[in-house]
Each structure stands twice: as structure tokens, then as C-alpha cells.
Amino acid sequence: MSKQLSVSHLLSHSANGGLNILVGDENTLWPDVVVEFSESRFPNHVEGALAILTAPPPRDAWQQDALIRRMRDRGFRALAMPGAGSFGKGTQVLAVRLGLVLLSVERPMELARACWQLLQGRDSLTLDFVRKISHSFEYRADRLSDLLRVLASNIGYGIALVASDGVVLQAGGELPVELLNEISFGPWVDTVSTAHGDAASVRVDSPSRAGLRLAVFGNGLSDTQLNALSVAAEVMMPGIAARLLIDEVADVNDATAASGLLRDFLEQYPVADAELEQRMQDRGWRTGGYHVAFRVTGRSHLDTFQLLRMMKQELAEIKTDSHAVISGRGVTGWLRFQGPPVPQDLEAQVTRLRRMHHNLRIALNVATGIGTLDSGRAGLYTSINGANDAARIAMNRSAAGWFVRIDALGLEQLLLSWTENDRFVPAAKSLLAPLQRDGAKLLTTISSYLDHESSISATAEAMDLHRNTVAARIHRVQDLLGLDLTDPETRLAVHLACRALQE
């Protein structure tokens, strides 16, 4: 442990009496502290100690200069006193020239106690933290984030719940990424000091979430402070782990209720049940306005609660009203707009959802689908179903980064609507409508062409036509539909559509 103090150590102390540095190097060290109510009572010879004078400074500049000279002549390296901010510019320049650190402190005796704790009363510093922590746990916190806020406020340092891939929750400040990267996740207790700050951390013993650490952090901490804070982290950890478990049980219950509510809405549609509508209102699901739904699903096995947590963190950065609900092997959600969004705003939100998808894929193997913009209760239902279709398409779209927007697909959704005939047949008719203008010959030709595995010769023989006639008709079909029949998925979509209209 360090047996010397610096201004930086005291500035990082949560109870330093309102200390401020006026002039001098904050990294100047001193081995001892002397506290007196009068300048005349200080010893005549010290070895670089800190002097804490509880009386205010004299008013006249010459007297202030004389005080500075006498304290430095006695061997003091730093002087702290109330009202030191009234020292004139000339006096401050003199202090710099003499090598005396000049400090202003609002409560000198509190500063003296902080010095004593850091130099000699290490157990007192630790007990102070324990007492403040015990008072914090008497507060009825609503969530873990609320509890962390109270703890950080009471002990005077930042607190963060961290995992190896980033900060989960934090309060009382922001843990620098550079400092997080230096925290070791192996040992039970770890302390680290860097140019970006200092931290004491402990492994969180949680049955529900492995790999977490509780870190207490600040700047300019001494060894004494770090060791005291490591004990404080150990004292806090069981309460944090318990609160984490309580919140996760509540989250699971809430997620289950939300999932059931979404299922009821989709299954009962278009029936407008008053009790269901009230449940949706109670949860904040307003069906008025405009909706864009999205669906994120696992391309391999994943923890849907982890996915929901990560998505909610991403959605919190979107200012638009948003909801996310566990549904099957993934999460279904939607954005709600009070009125019709202008195209630029809508594109900005879709871009933000694409960024969410990218961030999710860093940790999870997922595919994302985006539905259409629709209004009202019917629009919410339609957009959710469109997002589900888009997500199923996205499962096999590596070229699209496993992200598909249904608006951009046109009628390729036929591939996934095949099992839902009431939705497929109208879409098939719409897809092939341009071929009806030339009678049935183009529809018959393309259907036979696809039945014969896209062979011009086989189609010509089956239809008793010249191969050039068949080739010209196929070329005409592609022009009318605006499709590339060399693409396997496009061929399948058109083939399914032809089959549907022939039944």
C-alpha cells in the first residue's frame, strides 16, 4: 500500500471536504498531514507534509505572500485552507515559484479525516463504504439500475455491471472502454490502474447469468482506496446478484405475458375483443397510428431472453415508440408513428433497424425481416405478418446479410406464402397479370417451360411449336414481368404462381 498521498488521491475521495486545487501539480506526494487552527501552531520543521489550516487566509496581499513563504520555509509541500480562492494572482504565482501546492477546501476537518483514512485509518475507510452500502440496500429499488444509481450516489464512485463484451448497466459515471479492457475476468477480485482510470472489481456469483463482474471505478485512486473499494464491491455483490435474479424472474414473467398477448391478438384477428383491446392498452400497445413491424429470429439455437434484452437496449436509442415481444424462436416487434411518417423519416428508422440487426449479429446468429408501413389495427396485423414472411426469406439470404425488407422483395414473398393459399393466390394473380394481356398463350408457354425444367427444346416439342417461337415467348414473359428467369428462386416463384392459377 502507498504510504504517501497526492491531490489526485484526495480529489477522488468521496468525502474530501469540497477540495479544489488552485495551483501546483496534483501528483505531488506528501507523507504526512498536519492540521491546525492557527498558522503559528504549525511545527517549524517538517518533511514535505500537507498543512491543513482551518482558519481563512488574511485579506491583505502582503500577508498572504508572507503566509505562503512561512509555510514553505517550514518544509510543507502543500497548503489547504478555506477561502484560499481569495488569494491574489501574485500570491498564486509566488506559490508556484516556491513549489507549494495551494488548495481550497470548504470543510477542513472532513479533509483531515479523509487524509487520516488514506494514510492510517484504512479500516475506517472500508467501514465507511460498508456503512453507506448498508444504507443503500435499505432503499426500495424498483430495478437493478435504480439500485446501482443509489449505491453510486452514496459511495461517491461509479459502479458498473460488466461482461467481457461490454457494459451491461452502469451508474455514477461512464466506465471507459480502455479501462474495461484492462479488467481481468479470471480472479475473484481484481484491481487495475490505468491512464484512463482505476477500478476494483469482483466476480458476480449469479446462477442466472455467468461471466459478469461488478466494478467500482474512479480516477486517481490510491492503493488504499482501491483495496477499500474491492472490499466494498465484495459486500455489494450478493445484493446485486439477488436483485439481478429478481429482475430476471420479473422479466421472464413479463415476457411470457407479452408473448401470450401478442399470440391472442394474431389468433383472434379480425375479431375485436374488448377485453383483449384493454389488455393491449394496459401494456401500452396502441393500435392507432402507423406501424412498421420487424421480426428477428435465430438461424441456429439461441436464448430468446438474451435476444430480447439486447434488442431492447438497441431500441432504447430509437426515439419512436417501439415494442418487442418474444414469439417462437425469435422476437417480434414494431415501431409506431402517431401520423404517417415522411419517407425520409421512415427510411431513417429502417436504417436504424438495420444497424440493430448488424449489432445483434456480432453476438448472435440471427436473421431480420421488416414489414410494410400500415395503419390501424389491421395495419399492425398486416405488418407483423409481412415481417414474419421477410424474416423467413432472410434466413437463406446471405447475400443480403440475412436482412430483408418486404417492401424491397415485391412478389418474391410467394416463395414463403405457398402454404397460406388465401394469401398466395391473390399474389399469384397479381404477379402473372401482365401475361393475360396477350391471352393465354404466354401463361401456357411459361408454365410448360417451367414444367420442362426450363428447356426450350422440350417445351417446343410438348407444345408442338418451333423452338424460336418458344424462345421469343419466354423473352417476352421476362420483359412483361420484369424478372430474371435465370435466378432459381425467381423461377420457383413463377412456377408456383402458374401452378396456383391452373388449379
- pLDDT 10s digits, 182-227: 999 989 999 999 999 999 999 998 776 778 999 999 998 888 889 8
Question: How many whole angstroms separate alpha carbon 121 and alpha carbon 115?
Answer: 9
Tell me if 5-119 shares its fold with 421-502: no
Mean pLDDT within 471-478: 90
For residue 265, the 8-state DSSP code is H
Query: What phi, psi does 377 have (nearest 5°)?
Result: -60, -45
Q: Nearest to residue 203, comparing CAs of 243, 230, 179, 222?
A: 230
Looking at per-residue pLDDT, the higher value among 415 and 500 belongs to 500
**How many CA atoms are closer than 13 Å to the CA of 232, on its beta-carbon side?**
34
Mean pLDDT within 87-95: 92
Asked if 428 and 442 touch (Cβ cutoff 8 Å), the reply is: no
Mean pLDDT within 377-396: 88
Asked if 213 and 185 touch (Cβ cutoff 8 Å), the reply is: yes
pLDDT the model gives residue 423: 60
Mean pLDDT within 489-493: 75
Question: How many whole angstroms separate alpha carbon 105 and alpha carbon 169?
Answer: 34
Asked if 180 and 167 touch (Cβ cutoff 8 Å), the reply is: yes
Domain coordinates in residue numbering, the chain = 5-119, 122-245, 286-417, 421-502
For the ranges 114-118, 247-251, 370-374, 392-396, the one whose mean pLDDT is highest: 370-374
Question: How many whole angstroms separate alpha carbon 489 and alpha carbon 386?
Answer: 19
3-state secondary structure of 276: helix
Q: Angle, nearest 10°, between helix axes 223-268 and 304-315?
A: 100
pLDDT the model gives residue 401: 87
Residue 73 pLDDT greater than 50, yes or no: yes
**The C-alpha cell that represents 373 in the structure block:** 408501413
Mean pLDDT within 381-387: 91
pLDDT bin (cut points 50, 70, 90) of residue 422 is: low
Residue 2 pLDDT greater than 50, yes or no: no
Question: How many whole angstroms separate alpha carbon 13 and alpha carbon 362?
Answer: 39
Question: How many whole angstroms separate alpha carbon 262 and alpha carbon 326?
Answer: 9
Instruction: State the CB neighbour count (10 A cutoff) for residue 137.
Output: 19
pLDDT bin (cut points 50, 70, 90) of residue 378 is: very high
Mean pLDDT within 37-63: 91
3-state secondary structure of 28: coil
Q: Nearest to residue 155, comparing CAs of 125, 131, 132?
A: 132
Residue 325 pLDDT greater than 90, yes or no: yes
For residue range 229-238, list pLDDT tens digits in order.
999 999 999 8
Mean pLDDT within 281-289: 92
Question: How many whole angstroms separate alpha carbon 8 and alpha carbon 225?
Answer: 12
Mean pLDDT within 370-379: 92
Mean pLDDT within 294-321: 91
Question: How many whole angstroms separate alpha carbon 498 and alpha carbon 483?
Answer: 15
pLDDT bin (cut points 50, 70, 90) of residue 424 is: low
Residue 415 pLDDT greater than 90, yes or no: no
96 exposure class (CB count in 10 Å sphere: 0-12, 13-18, 19+): middle
Asked if 451 and 460 touch (Cβ cutoff 8 Å), the reply is: no
pLDDT the model gives residue 3: 66
Question: How many whole angstroms separate alpha carbon 455 and alpha carbon 357?
Answer: 41
**Percent of the chain scored above 90 by pLDDT?**
50
Question: How many whole angstroms separate alpha carbon 487 and alpha carbon 398?
Answer: 15
Tell me which amino acid residue 198 is: D
**Percent of the chain scored above 70 by pLDDT?**
94
Mean pLDDT within 398-419: 66
Residue 496 pLDDT greater than 50, yes or no: yes
pLDDT the model gives residue 134: 87
Cis amide bond preceding 341, omega within 30:
no
Which stretch of DSSP H or E encloses residue 360?
helix 343-363
Tell me which amino acid residue 4 is: Q
Give the CATH class of 421-502: mainly alpha
Asked if 462 and 446 touch (Cβ cutoff 8 Å), the reply is: no
Q: What is the CATH number of domain 122-245?
A: 3.30.450.40
5-119, CATH topology level = 3.40.1390
Lowest mean pLDDT among 66-75, 439-448, 465-474, 480-489: 480-489
Please provide the DSSP assignment of 81-126 as one string.
Answer: ETTGGG--HHHHHHHHHHT-EEEEES-HHHHHHHHHHHHT-HHHHH
Length of the chain: 503
For residue range 138-164, list pLDDT tens digits in order.
888 888 999 999 999 999 999 999 998
Asked if 164 and 171 touch (Cβ cutoff 8 Å), the reply is: no
For residue range 105-140, list pLDDT tens digits in order.
999 999 988 888 888 766 778 888 888 898 888 888
Q: Which CATH architecture has domain 286-417?
A: 2-Layer Sandwich (3.30)
Query: What phi, psi does 392 have (nearest 5°)?
Result: -65, -40
